Structure 1
Amino acid sequence: MRLGVTSMLACVGIVSVSVAAESNAAILRHNLHIPRQTLDVALKDLAQQTGLQIVRFSDAVKGDAMVGPLNGNYSAEQALRELLAPTGLTYRPLNDRAYIVVTTQELTQKSGAATTSPERLSLPNVSPQSLQVTQAEPSVVGGGGTPAESNASGNSPSNSVRSLEEIIVTAQKVEERLRDIPMSITAMTSRDLQALGATQFVDFANTVPSLNFTSSGVGQTQVNLRGITSGYNVSPTVGIYVDDVPYGSSTAFVVGAQLALDVGLFDMTRVEILRGPQGTLYGASTMGGLVKYVTNMPDTTAYGGTVRANVSGTQDGGVGYDASSAVNIPLVDDKAALRVGGFYTHNGGYVNNLARNDKDVDAADMYGGRVDFLFAPTDRLSVRLTAFAQDIDRDGSIAADFDRSTGVPIDGKLDQRRQMPETFEQSFRLASATVKYSFDFATLTSISSYQTVSSDAITDFSALYVPAFGGPGVFSAVGLARNADTDKFTQELRLSGTGSVVDWLIGGFYTKEDSEQFQQLQPYDPSGARSPVNLLTLTVPSKYEEYAAFGNLTFHVTDKLDVTGGVRYAHNKQQQEQLGSGLLIGVVPVRKDSDSVPTYLANVRYRVNDNFMPYVRFATGYRPGGPNAVLNDLNGQPMALPTFDDDRLTSYEAGVKVGSADRRFNADVSVYYVDWKDIQITAIRNGLGVIANAAKARSEGLEMTLTALPMDDLTIMGTFGYTNAELAADAPDLGGVKGESLPDTPSITAALSAEYRFALSNYEAFAGGIVRYVDDRNGSFDLAQGMPQYKLPNYTAVDLRTGMNVGGTRVQLYCRNVTNERGQLSAITGTSVAGGPANVSILQPRTYGLSVDVSF
């Protein structure tokens, strides 16, 4: 399989280079994304996205009228006509690369007729004061602060003025500028990911304000935002999307919270991180926010693609490498396109299992590919069909053994003792169809998807169960084998429209999920052979079905003031049964439950000008309730209610987004307060776990992102997050008391990055780095029984990089974790007896690498 994937990547790369040679430099149509905004800014965006010069001639041409949006494939002249239509203005071409915007009267006076024919005219003789030029400018990425390439040759033009790139996101299910959205968002663009050398989630996560995680290795990750976590979450509090498709199960029955999708970061447009509840537009299990992976869409106008190769070595670990390639092929006279890509990543590993004498047990392979077809027969209609596959195969966890009370390693800082290999395998398959049709008054979007997720994991529980059953003379090892499968169908239909007074969006959503979790506690006798004793064999089939309707209305009270209101009403039905055998479990018949939950949104934004926008936001979120496990005490009385309720969250946020007029400085600052009630937790009753609504919490904090171009060749970016998340009342089932911090939530996270560009042998070279800081955290609660407390210390990691851009090729040398910090990412303490070690996941040690990225 590995050889096949590698061969496929090589073939794709060869095809890509061959196709690129046939490309035509004169592209007549452009895939444009221009949101509703003032004419001046819209013309600047049009220039940046087409590479043209657009001249606004004389003071009679006002640039403050609101125009747009404009999304789709347009020629430059079609785009100008659409943007200028509401203003009464027109244009005329100056040459192949420049257009002039004029009033109809000025055009008539110059050419004798009000025409937009593409005649070649010379630049009018006007004073510099009356001529304003909007042109394609070299830009730098606003998400992570990485400069974009300045031109095709890789040389940096000396007479150009650079600015920060304008990032378009789809956070509110319509395309908008990042700085126009009234909520706290981070957008990691493809250039940001490239600069970080990111191939998976943990490579970028600790650069994002308020984004925290726990992990046992690639594929086994729990994602938290703004401290919305009770520790080992019953079900996800952060939604994961691939484009417009939600990932994974919505229930509490297949450990979905700990299996957040770890997408291979190849051929990505960007990763959007939305902070705060997204329940109105995205529904259940987005209480803390959303992580959205946005893939590159096929382009019907141009051949192109990418090829990437990377090799790295980790101190005290193995060799890692990855390769990826994607090619874009226009078809059928620019009315269709096919994009095909694949990737393969090998993590070399760095943790050793002393009990089995295995080195680098966390070595992992991650590979997959995507086929993406776009058919756009008219400017109104587009059909996108996507198939995505990804597999993960990991030999062990990234956790070393540390003393719970002192934080001192039991052996070495990269050593563990596991009687059984803690392997992990995951298979993810996704097929989706997105159909868009633009009416004169609105755009209709249909998104259909079907996915399968299968995850297999083994956890070594020998330290807990071997002593409990009489010591190594009875069992030499005990491991929990677990499989979680979900088959999921979703259908979303929405209609959106924009106007001078009201923008609106209405829609409906449906999902049907069939899931099954299988668990088996596997004992081994003193000889190492599998024991016939059945301690626990459990199968939990479950079904989930949801219907939802949602809508948003934005009123343009004035040209500067917008007020938005939104609501979503969701109804779900669930059923679950327990098919168990063995010494520790039994059979439970089918249980059913249903739930109906409304969620709300309200925000106000005020555009003081195009570069300054304060806002306030109110939003709610929830997780579905469901049927509970059936457990009785020694007197035959139930230890939990037959069902558990949904938990709900209310968020209040205020922020400001500001930038300089020359687009060389941006700032995004927000403060928030969150009230979380009826928290779903796993309660330990007589040593067994049930789900209960037994806690409430609050979280408040500050988030800040600053990006600056103090000089054309230097980009600086800083991010900062402060979170105070704590219990609002005593929670005996969690072992927590009022005021105790929620787990896995550092008070402070911060990152500072910089990149400097300079000329080297007529080419553009660069040098940069990033410093990341994560404050100390609690791994659990002080009085927790099933998951004893462990204190995770703070850590600081430094990454450096340097390289050169030669044409469309970027060569980069890098060193991650330069100081070889043994940062502790997360801890699990429930797999051994009281006083036993904590399983602490460790930051990847110092790693040197070389990467080559080719774009064509």
Structure 2
Amino acid sequence: MDVRRKLVASAALAAFSAPSWAQQQSDEIEVVKVTAQKRKEDPAKVAMSITAVTGAQLQAEHVNDITDLTRVVPNISFTAASGNGGAGPGTSNIEIRGISSTAGAATVGMYLGETPITVGNVYTMGNIEPRFFDIDRVEVLRGPQATLYGASSMGGTIKFVPVEPDLKEREFSTYTEASNTKGGSPSYSGNVIGNFPLIPDELALRIGVQAQHTGGYINQVDNDGNLLARNINQMSDQELRAALKWKPTRTLTISPSVYFQRVDAKDIDAFNLDMPLYQARKVVREPSIDKLLTPSVTINWDMGGADLTSTTSYFERKFDRQQNGSEYSSYAMSSDLTSIENGGKAPQALIDAVVALPSVVYLNNQVRQVAQEFRVASHPYDEKVSPWTWLVGTYFSNQHTNITEDDPIPGITATFASFGFDIADPTLLPDAAPGQFPHDSVYAGIFHYREKQGSVFGELNYYFSPTVHATFGARYLKAKSTLSQINSNYGAGPGDNSSADISAHAFTPKYALTWEVDPANTVYTSVSKGFRLGGANVYVPSVTCAGDLQDQGLTDAPIAYAPDSLWSYEVGSKSRFLNNHVSLNADVFYVKWKNIQQAVYMPNCGYTYNANAGNATTKGFEFDIKAKPMPGLTLSLSAGYVKAVLSDDSGIANGVVGAVAGARIQGVPNYNAALNATYNFSAWDMPAFVMGGMQWVGSSRGTLDPDQTDYERPGYHTNDFSTGLTMGAYTFTAFVKNAFDTKTIIQHPQVASIVQGYRLTPRSIGVSLATKF
């Protein structure tokens, strides 16, 4: 979880050039077209809850990443990947409407353009987090999207839609920003984007680069409180995007593109709650490097009576990170030693020396996926042509996930030797044998996941009249997932090397009815099914984790977990009033979730496995309202409420502590809301603005287990302000984020014996400059 960027400065205006500002001065509410149903259309005519945030708004409100987005879009939340305790960038998972994604396959589909970038929730990483660079809009589609987007979208789908190359206009833009964080180090960023029509009206290139540095505010200290390093949670990232648009004929468009991103985090955002604020007591640093590469080719062909779209895509993620394993490996090793006082051979001095040794966990993750989608869609509805519209398609993907883990305790062999012992002596360590500690490594694991999916899908609309139509959609999916694992060294046990194949198929229908009461008001209702694949669990050593397993009433961890599914019921309305000076979208929903997958984290040994925690229900509402009550003034308020709870006690039998009826699903705030006001005016005959905003996030539960430190997570709010002036092609802004320096500890998980704290980034003050020519 990237806490440095979690503040949504709803108040900080980034830079618009003069032409962009001119577009913003309309007295009507802007209508953002979306592609939620695989064709571009007005969201007011789509029978689902959608929030579309433009790239201009992302810049204006300094929404830098997905976790920022969760503060301005109703009923989206984030939580740390299983067992990571909010470990850092690249380890967060996203939930929509309380459909938690901390275990198993993802519950929220992720798309970058036409490229699916959804990954499973393994114990070493979370969702891919694209930076909001050269983005036209972000579409958040709530509710199951299995018909058009597949199995890993049972809670919803998030689409990052980049800006397309323009075949007509040459454009060159820059953006730079600098800020300073209270008690921390400076942050700065810059990007350059160019659009070049190479052959007017036929071929264009759009290319851009970005570099950012985010300052830190956490200091590293040793066990005695002595300062080792300042501002360790700094982060740098770089992005490159290049896209071509070739239109050789009026009916054919070919669009190849590539996106590359590198995020280099020097440490995580955690500090010790038993230390002075923002001090992390550790000897081993916890950096990470997360790389993403996504080349793709999309072909659109107007065949006359229908449109054919083909998307061939590939993505590769390499995520290498390091964790402080001292509280796991060294402590576990010392607890395995039998002291002289207890009838063994290990002197207490040796046990104390082992406990004091620092240890490291090296995690290397690689995900590769090839995907192909073909779809054919009829032209938009025309009552003179036909009462039917339709879309059919097929999809295939092949994803490989490779994880290697190495847990050394540097100096462990020499420490035993200094006391005159052989580390492989079984009278000191149970089951120890020669060759089990290569290069002082006490555990090594290699895991290979493979998931193949194939599906056919379609949607059919019938118009009873130009204002009333029914939708029926369905997808049939077949999938096979495989886990192969090799566990070695002292921490592994007999039978640790295994493989498992799990096959599944699913039929996920959708039904909807839409009534356009008049051109400015639409009501709808929908019923849809979501599905998620099951899978095999990674090995959990029964000796190392004996105490945790016993607390859960188990001897061994489950070797696999089952699929889960849900049915969602929704009613909503989308309205525009007073000549489009006011818009209001609202909906209510109810979800029945069967056999929910949840992560079971064992804090004493540091391992996690997945289990089914029984059934659950989520229900709630969302709304957003925008108004332009007077020239220059724009007001917006969005909010959501969700009650996501287990509906039975069956998860207890699978070792899920706290999985009882009425227990809140972990990681889901009970509400969130965002209020924003922007006033545009003229100063010295130049466009100017002031902006202010506030965001609220309600309380949540970090775990189902009431005895864990992260069980209760508090609610919090932030405030942000900005002002700016446009002079020709230049826009200057000044802003303050977290203006009142909210210090709420928003998460406080326990990692072994350490209780970690995570807070919002302290108050930061900055300036920016944008140009467009």
Same fold (TM over 0.5): yes
1:770 corresponds to: 693
- Please show how residues 306-317 of structure 1 align to structure 2 within 5 Å: 306-317=173-184
2:609 is the counterpart of 1:609: no
Deviation, 1:640, is 5.7
2:683 is the counterpart of 1:757: no
Deviation, 1:198, is 2.8
Q: Larger deviation: 307-316 or 199-208?
A: 199-208
* Alignment match of 1:487 (pick from 356, 368, 373): 368
- Please show how residues 690-769 of structure 1 align to structure 2 within 5 Å: 690-730=609-649, 731-732=651-652, 733-736=655-658, 737-769=660-692
2:768 is the counterpart of 1:844: no
Q: 1:496 to 1:371 in 2, by over 3 A?
A: same
- Please show how residues 593-608 of structure 1 align to structure 2 within 5 Å: 593-608=502-517
* Alignment match of 1:330 (pick from 186, 192, 197): 197
Deviation, 1:544, is 1.4
2:749 is the counterpart of 1:828: yes
Q: CA RMSD in A?
A: 2.7
2:171 is the counterpart of 1:304: yes
Q: Which has the higher contact order (CA 8 A, sep 6+)?
A: 2
- Please show how residues 146-545 of structure 1 align to structure 2 within 5 Å: 152=19, 162-214=27-79, 215-229=86-100, 232-249=102-119, 251=120, 254-255=122-123, 258-355=125-222, 357-402=228-273, 410-470=274-334, 472-475=352-355, 476-498=357-379, 499=381, 500=383, 501-525=387-411, 532-545=439-452
2:340 corresponds to: none
In structure 2, what is the Cα distance between the partners aligned to 1:556 and 1:144? 43
TM-score, with length taken from structure 1: 0.77
Deviation, 1:752, is 0.3
* Alignment match of 1:577 (pick from 484, 509, 514): 484
Q: Which amino acid aligns with 1:515?
A: T
Q: Which amino acid aligns with 1:428?
A: L
2:563 is the counterpart of 1:646: yes
Where do 5+ consecutive residues of structure 2 fail to align?
Answer: 1-9, 80-85, 335-350, 416-436, 547-553
Deviation, 1:379, is 2.1
Q: 1:676 to 1:156 in 2, by over 3 A?
A: closer
Cα distance per residue 1:757-812 (max 9 Å; x no partner):
1110000110001101111221112346xx65432211110010100122343221
Deviation, 1:653, is 0.9
- Asked if the contact 2:123/2:608 (under 8 Å) is kept, the reply is no
Q: Which amino acid aligns with 2:406?
A: Q
In structure 2, what is the Cα distance between the partners aligned to 1:447 and 1:154? 35
- Asked if the contact 1:466/1:472 (under 8 Å) is kept, the reply is no
Q: Which amino acid aligns with 1:610?
A: P
2:458 is the counterpart of 1:551: yes
In structure 2, what is the Cα distance between the partners aligned to 1:278 and 1:335? 35
Where do 5+ consecutive residues of structure 1 fail to align?
Answer: 1-142, 403-409
Q: 1:354 to 1:843 in 2, by over 3 A?
A: same
- Asked if the contact 2:245/2:253 (under 8 Å) is kept, the reply is yes
TM-score, with length taken from structure 2: 0.85
Q: 1:765 to 1:651 in 2, by over 3 A?
A: same
Deviation, 1:350, is 1.4
Deviation, 1:854, is 1.8
- Asked if the contact 1:717/1:754 (under 8 Å) is kept, the reply is yes
Q: 1:426 to 1:357 in 2, by over 3 A?
A: same
- Asked if the contact 2:537/2:560 (under 8 Å) is kept, the reply is yes
Deviation, 1:324, is 0.8
Task: Specify the SS of the correspondent of 1:778.
Answer: coil
Cα distance per residue 1:90-123 (max 9 Å; x no partner):
xxxxxxxxxxxxxxxxxxxxxxxxxxxxxxxxxx
Deviation, 1:271, is 1.0
Q: 1:563 to 1:807 in 2, by over 3 A?
A: farther
In structure 1, what is the Cα distance between the partners aligned to 2:176 and 2:501? 51
In structure 1, what is the Cα distance between the partners aligned to 2:172 and 2:110? 26
In structure 1, what is the Cα distance between the partners aligned to 2:105 and 2:742? 32
Cα distance per residue 1:71-92 (max 9 Å; x no partner):
xxxxxxxxxxxxxxxxxxxxxx
Task: Specify the SS of the correspondent of 1:444.
Answer: strand
1:92 corresponds to: none
- Asked if the contact 1:682/1:692 (under 8 Å) is kept, the reply is yes
In structure 2, what is the Cα distance between the partners aligned to 1:166 and 1:684? 45
Deviation, 1:638, is 8.7
- Asked if the contact 1:734/1:783 (under 8 Å) is kept, the reply is no
- Asked if the contact 2:12/2:736 (under 8 Å) is kept, the reply is no
In structure 1, what is the Cα distance between the partners aligned to 2:392 and 2:352? 62
Task: Specify the SS of the correspondent of 2:441.
Answer: coil
Deviation, 1:699, is 0.7
Q: Percent identity?
A: 27
Task: Specify the SS of the correspondent of 1:769.
Answer: strand
- Asked if the contact 1:414/1:842 (under 8 Å) is kept, the reply is no
In structure 1, what is the Cα distance between the partners aligned to 2:558 and 2:330? 32
In structure 2, what is the Cα distance between the partners aligned to 1:320 and 1:472? 42
Q: 1:195 to 1:384 in 2, by over 3 A?
A: same
In structure 2, what is the Cα distance between the partners aligned to 1:162 and 1:145? 21
Q: 1:151 to 1:481 in 2, by over 3 A?
A: closer
In structure 2, what is the Cα distance between the partners aligned to 1:351 and 1:273? 33
In structure 2, what is the Cα distance between the partners aligned to 1:147 and 1:255? 36
- Asked if the contact 2:709/2:748 (under 8 Å) is kept, the reply is no
In structure 2, what is the Cα distance between the partners aligned to 1:420 and 1:754? 45
Cα distance per residue 1:332-359 (max 9 Å; x no partner):
2320100010111111111222226221
In structure 2, what is the Cα distance between the partners aligned to 1:701 and 1:709? 28
Task: Specify the SS of the correspondent of 1:217.
Answer: coil
Q: 1:371 to 1:150 in 2, by over 3 A?
A: closer
In structure 1, what is the Cα distance between the partners aligned to 2:98 and 2:87? 19
Cα distance per residue 1:499-523 (max 9 Å; x no partner):
4311111000000112211112222
